[in-house]
Structure 1
Amino acid sequence: MSRTSRLARVALAGLLGLGATGTAQALSQDITAEFVPDPANPTKNEFRNTTPVTGVCAWHMPNRCQQMGIFTIRTNDFAANANAPIEALHEDPRQGAMWKVPSEWRDVQVTHARTGETETVQVRIAGIGHRWDVRPNTSAWARPGYSWQGQWSTAPSPCQSTGFLTGNNTLALFFWLVPEGAGVCSRFPGTTITRFWYSTFEFAYALRTPNPLGMSSGEYVGNITYTMGPHQDFDFGDVVIPSDNQLTLNFSLDVLHTLQVEVPPGGNRIELVPQGGWQAWLNQGRKPARLFRDQTFNISASSRFKMQLECERVMGNTCALRNADGHQVPLDISVSLPYGLNRPDGSAVNRQPLLLSGAGTQLFQPGHYVNRRPGTLHFEVGREHTDNMLSQGGSTYSGMATVIWDSDL
C-alpha cells in the first residue's frame, strides 16, 4: 500500500478594508480577512480581520472595540460642506448636523474566484465620526446648560458615547457608536453657524463571516455600495452635503486550510496476517477466518475533503492481490476517521469502504479543526478468498493500492 497526502491551503480572505481612494463621486475601501487554522485553539473556526484599523479603535479604545467586535476606519478622502447657515436652536434635525447610517445588518455575496462558489458575509455600520470645522468658533455649539464640549463628547440618543473628543476654538474630532437599527442622531447649536464642514470620515463596522470549514481554499470576493447624501444610506441631513455620493466596500476573503496526512515510518508496507498470527495454521492446520492489518495514520484537517482509491491491479470495485501464478483475490480497504471529521449528515466515519467508484467517500466535513489526530486504514481479505489463497499452496500475494486524501472537491 502506498499513501498520497495533499496539503491543501485555503486562504479565506473576506474582509472589509478602507484603503479609500476617493473620486469626485465615490469612495472605495478594501476590507480583508483570512482564516488560518490554529493548532493551539482548534475549536476557534473564525476569520481574522486583516484590514488595518485606524481611528478610535486603534488609538483610543482598542479593548472596548475588541469586546464589541467592531473595527474603525478613518480616511481623509472625504469632504462635506454646509450649503447654508445652521440656525441657532433650529427644530428640524435635517437643517443642522445629523447622521443616519446603515446600522442594520446587510448581506454581501462573495464569490470564489476560481470555482464560482458563493458565500454570504454580513456587515453593519456601528459608529460614526468626523473632524468638523466651524465658523465663527466652536463655542457656537454651546447652549443653555451645555458646553460645546458636552454637546459632542456625550452622544445624543440613539447614538452612544465613546468619550472621544478633541479640538480647539475652530475644529473638533468626535466619534459615537451606533446601535443596530438606530435612527437619527443630531446636534443643534446655540448660536447661528455661518460655515461648517467635515474633512475626515470615520466609521466603525461589524462583520459576520461564514463558517470557513465549509468553504473551499482560495479567495472569495464581493462588494457592497452604500449611497451618501440626503435620504440615502449615509444621510447627513439637507444642509451638510458630501462631495461623494457613494461608498463601496470591497471584500476579499482568504481561506488557508490545512490537510495533511502522516503515516509512520514503514507504514506504507502492509503485511496481512490472521488473528494471532500464522501459528494456528502452521501447527494445528486451523484455517484463518481472514487476513487483515490495521494501519494508523495522523491527520490534520480544517477543510472538506474526499478520499479516493487507485489500484495497480483492479478486481471489481477494489484492488487485487495476485500471486506468481496469476491467481487474484480482492483486497477490501476501509477507513475510520477521528472525532471531528464526519460524513455530510454529521455521523462518524467508521470502517467506511474505500472503492474505486468513490461511493461513500466523496465528502468528509470537519466539525472543527482536527490537529494530528489518529485515524485507521483497514485492509482485509475475507474468509472465502482466504480459503482460495490457501488452496494455492505456499505462495505470496502482492499488490499496490494508493489512498488519496484530496481537498480539491
Structure 2
Amino acid sequence: MNKLKILNDPIYGFITIPNSLIFDLIQHRYFQRLRRITQMGMSYLVYPGAHHTRFHHAIGCVHLMQQAVNMLRFKGVTISNEEENALYVAILLHDIGHGPFSHAMEHSIVNNVSHEKISLLFMERLNKEFNSNLTLAIKIFKGEYHRNFLCQLISGQFDIDRADYLKRDSFYTGVAEGNINSERLITMLNVVDDELVVEEKGIYSVEKFIVARRLMYWQVYLHKTGLAAEQLLIRVLQRAKELNNQGRNLYASTALTYFLNNKISIDNFTNETLEVFSELDDYDIISAMKHWQHDEDFVLSKLSKMIINRNLLKIKVKKKKIKESKLEMHITDFMQAHNISKEEAKYFVFTGSISNQAYQLKHNQINILFKSGKIVDIVKASDHLNLKTLSKPVTKYYICYPKEQTHIR
C-alpha cells in the first residue's frame, strides 16, 4: 500500500506525508477523530467560515515542521533521522487530546484536565501500539530532551503550532490582521548553543507575528460574542451533569453519558476513560443539545436553545471589574421574570475576566541573532515602540446577561 500520500491544503497547497509512521498515525481512529473537533470552538457563530478542524491544523503543522527541519539542516544544524521523525510525530499529535469544541471541555466535561495532559495519555497509548516508536517524540513533547531547540519547535513563543494556527485561523475567519508569513519566519530560523534563534533579517517578520497574535486574540479568540457562546456551552454541560447527578437520565450518546455520570480528574483518568474520550466529539454535544432544548428543565432547555438558535447572551466588556450590585440587579430581574431560584438564574447572569499577553518576556523568549553573533531578545532588538507594551498582560472584565434584561432596565 502506498503510504507516501500527498494532501491538498488551502493554505500551503500540496502537503506530503513524510513517512509510513506518520501515515499510519494519521489513519489511526484516535487521530481521525480530530476531523470532528472544531479548531476554534464556538467562533463559527461569529465568523461563519471558521469550521476548520484540529485535523487540518495538525496536518499543516507537519508540513511546516518539514520546512523547518530542511532549513535548519541547510544551515548546518545536525538533526538525525530519528529526531526528525520524532518532531513530526510530536507536532502531529500535539493537539490529539482536545475535546469537543476544543477548550470548553476542560471546564465542564472533565475537572481541570488540560488537553495537553490528555494528548500525552494518547501518545503513551499509541506508543504501546507502535512498538515504542513514539518514545523520543514523547520526550520532546514533554520538554525533557537534551537538545532544547527541538522542544522549542514544539512548544515555545514562536513554535510550529503558532506558525500554523495564526495563518490558518486568519484564513478561515477572514481576519486579515492575523495573516503572518510562516514560511519566511521558518526560513529565518537558526540554532545557537542548542537554542532556537531568528536571524536579524527576520526581525520585522517576528514583530508582525507578535502584533498579529495580539490582534487575533482580541478580534477572534477572545471576541465577546464567541466568549459568550463558549460560556453558554460550558454551562449547558455543567447543568446536564447536575441534573444527571440528581437522578435524571438525560438523552446523550454513550460517550457523553459516561462523562456526565462520572467525576473525571487527572487522578482517575484511566485507560477506560481514555477509550471513551476517543469516542467523544462535537457531534455528541450538538446532538445532545438539539434534544435538550425540549427538556422539561427550564435552565437546560433555555441554554440549549440559545446556542442552537444563536440567540446568545448580551455581553459587555469593561476595563474595570464589574460591580457586585450590577450583577445582583440582573440576577434578581431574571429570577423574577421567570420565577426561578438564584442558583438557576446564575446560569444566565455571570461575570468573568479575559487576559491577553502577546509576548512573555521571561518564558521561552524569541531571540534575535545579529550578524556580529550577538543574541538579543526581540523586545530589546526591535525598534517597534509597542513590543515592550505588548509583553504586559492586559486584563478585561465582562458581564453576561439575557438580552431580554435590556428591555427591563
What TM bracket, shorter-length normalisation? under 0.3
Q: Which structure's residues are more often strand, by fraction?
A: 1
TM-score, normalised to structure 1, is 0.23
Higher gyration radius (CA): 1
Q: Which structure's residues are more often helix, by fraction?
A: 2
TM-score, normalised to structure 2, is 0.23
**Comparing both chains, which one has the higher relative contact order based on Cα–Cα distances under 8 Å and sequence gaps of 6 or more?**
1
